Amino acid sequence: MNFVDDDFELKEIQRLEGHTDRVWTVAWKPHTGINGVPAVLASCSGDKTVRIWEQDSTGSFHCQAVLEETHTRTVRSCEWSPSGKHLATASFDATTAIWENVGVDFECVSTLEGHDNEVKSVSWNSDDSLLATCGRDKSVWIWEVLPGNEFDCVSVLQGHTQDVKMVKWTPNMDMLLSCSYDNTIKVWIENRGDDWHCIQTLGESNSGHTSTVWSVSSDASGLKLVSCSDDLTIKVWILNDDDNRMIDWNIEPAWKHVCTLSGYHDRTIFSVHWSREGIIASGAADDAICLFVENNENEVDGPTFKLLLKKEKAHEMDVNSVQWNTGDRRLLASGSDDGTVKIWELVRRSGQKMPST
Q: What are phi and psi of 115, to 5 degrees?
A: -65, 145
Q: 199's torsion region: left (phi>0), alpha (psi -120 to 50) or beta?
A: alpha
pLDDT of residue 244 exceeding 70:
no
3 state DSSP class of 206? helix
Q: What confidence tens digit (pLDDT) does each residue in 278-315 have?
A: 999 999 999 999 999 998 776 666 789 999 999 999 99
pLDDT of residue 235 exceeding 90:
yes
What's 295's DSSP letter?
Answer: E
pLDDT of residue 345 exceeding 70:
yes
Q: Given this model, what pLDDT does residue 240 score? A: 82
**Whether the Cβ atoms of residue 34 and residue 328 lie closer than 8 Å to each other:** yes
Lowest model confidence (mean pLDDT) among 17-21, 39-43, 188-192: 188-192
Q: Given this model, what pLDDT does residue 104 score? A: 79
Instruction: Report the C-alpha gap between 86 and 168 in whole angstroms.
Output: 17
pLDDT of residue 328 exceeding 80:
no
Q: Given this model, what pLDDT does residue 330 score? A: 93
Proportion of the chain above pLDDT 90, given as a percent: 83
Report residue 349's pLDDT band, with 50, 70 and 90 as the boundaries. Answer: confident
Average pLDDT over residues 142-166: 96
Q: Given this model, what pLDDT does residue 242 score? A: 58
pLDDT of residue 70 exceeding 60:
yes
Report residue 272's pLDDT band, with 50, 70 and 90 as the boundaries. Answer: very high
Q: Which residues pair with 153 in a beta bridge?
A: 143
What's 59's DSSP letter?
Answer: S
pLDDT of residue 250 exceeding 70:
no
Could you state, in order of their start, the residue ranges of all structural domains in the chain?
8-244+252-348
pLDDT of residue 204 exceeding 50:
yes
Average pLDDT over residues 6-19: 94
Cα-Cα-Cα-Cα dihedral sign, residues 15, 20, 23, 28: negative
CATH number for region 8-244+252-348 = 2.130.10.10
pLDDT of residue 350 exceeding 80:
no
pLDDT of residue 357 exceeding 50:
no
Q: 210's torsion region: left (phi>0), alpha (psi -120 to 50) or beta?
A: alpha
Instruction: Report the C-alpha gap between 178 and 161 in whole angstroms.
Output: 12
Q: Given this model, what pLDDT does residue 4 score? A: 59
